Structure 1
Amino acid sequence: MMTEEIVLTVKGRKKIEEELEQLKVVRRKEVAERIKQAIDFGDISENSEYDEAKNEQAQVEERISKLSNILKNAKIVDENDINTDYVSVGTVAKVKDLDDGEILEYTIVGASEADPYELKISNASPIGKALLNQQVGDVVEVKIPDGVSRYEIVDIERSQE
């Protein structure tokens, strides 16, 4: 099975490392304490607190495993190597929506860093894929549920994050 390449910016790697540290150092201890308290209640076969704590423990361990795997397999984008001649991970693409004239700025990141509310879009998303490797002045078409959106790239710069 071929796995999709995981791409992270330096800031994205730092954020994942911080979350991983929080889970390992703080959350594990908190959950272990909850399990210990639940055991102190007695018979664990019908102890909902124990069941909830064990489920939470499994979720924490699953997240630790996932984050560790991301960090182990990630390709880190060196900010000094980012070329602003074309759109790539680590750049901000300023685009003009050719349907309504609105100017949008999309920060292109790897899938694990994507946050549409902050206009951080994945290089694997429909818009991200369409913008990748394009230059200022290029027009891209993105298939959306309502049809096709057209964007003109008006500027490309390095992400300051």
Structure 2
Amino acid sequence: MEYMSQEGYDKLVAELRQLETVDLPQVKDAISEARDKGDLSENFEYHAAKREQGRILGRIRFMQRVLENARVLDMSRVHTDCIQLLSRVEMTNLANNSRMTYTIASPHEANLREGKISVKSPIAEALLGKKAGDEVEVKVPAGTLRLRIESVSI
């Protein structure tokens, strides 16, 4: 079972619909057109379209499995007293006093540009269950980070 926000669930549903209703029919049309051109053994367009069809079908199957096991987290049951999934955490790197803010998200919603880190990342795993004012040490590929949690919100 995979917990996620309503926003993340809706994005996955929209992407699945796009793949099933737009992308897959386009690829099927491309395969049909390439097949009409004759010899399939040397037909680059045909092979490229078949590869794309396989990629799309694989993505569709993957997303269907994710959505089957997805559970939307009820925001009214999320508390701000400790860090958990969907918590917004402001923290300070004690080595250089730089501040950063991240939202703990499901692996399917993680996007560093949006400030969302996966609940399965080393930083998020170290933060889970902690409270504002706590200090944590996190082992990351670049070494060890010492972080102080400044605030926790939703």
- Settle same-fold status: TM greater than 0.5: yes
Q: Give the secondary-structure state (helix, strand or coil) at the position aligned to 1:111.
A: coil
Structure 2 gaps of 5+ residues are: none
Amino acid at match of 1:36: S
Partners of 1:145 and 1:57 in 2: how far apart?
36
Partners of 1:7 and 1:47 in 2: how far apart?
45
Partners of 2:86 and 2:67 in 1: how far apart?
17
Give the aligned partner of residue 81 of structure 2: 85
Establish whether residue 131 from structure 1 lines up as the match of residue 127 from structure 2. yes
Give the aligned partner of residue 72 of structure 1: 68
TM-score between both structures, scaled by the size of structure 1: 0.91
Amino acid at match of 2:11: K
Give the aligned partner of residue 91 of structure 2: 95
Pairing of 1:11-160 with structure 2 (within 5 A): 11-158=7-154
Q: Give the secondary-structure state (helix, strand or coil) at the position aligned to 1:127.
A: helix
Amino acid at match of 1:141: E
Partners of 1:139 and 1:7 in 2: how far apart?
26
State the aligned residue count: 154
CA deviation after TM superposition for structure 1 residue 134, in Å: 0.8
Identity percentage of aligned residues:
36
CA contact under 8 A between 1:10 and 1:79: conserved in structure 2?
no
CA contact under 8 A between 1:7 and 1:111: conserved in structure 2?
no
Partners of 1:130 and 1:9 in 2: how far apart?
21
Partners of 1:113 and 1:56 in 2: how far apart?
24
1:58-112: CA deviation from partner (whole Å, max 9, x where unpaired): 0000000001100001232111211111111111001111111111101100111
TM-score between both structures, scaled by the size of structure 2: 0.95
Aligned CA RMSD, in angstroms, stands at 1.1
- Once the two structures are overlaid, the 10-residue window that deviates more, 140-149 or 128-137, is 140-149
Partners of 2:82 and 2:61 in 1: how far apart?
35
CA deviation after TM superposition for structure 1 residue 117, in Å: 2.4
Q: Which runs of 4+ in 1 moved over 6 A?
A: none
Amino acid at match of 1:39: R
Structure 1 gaps of 5+ residues are: none
Amino acid at match of 1:72: E
Amino acid at match of 1:51: H
Q: Give the secondary-structure state (helix, strand or coil) at the position aligned to 2:130.
A: coil
CA deviation after TM superposition for structure 1 residue 29, in Å: 1.0
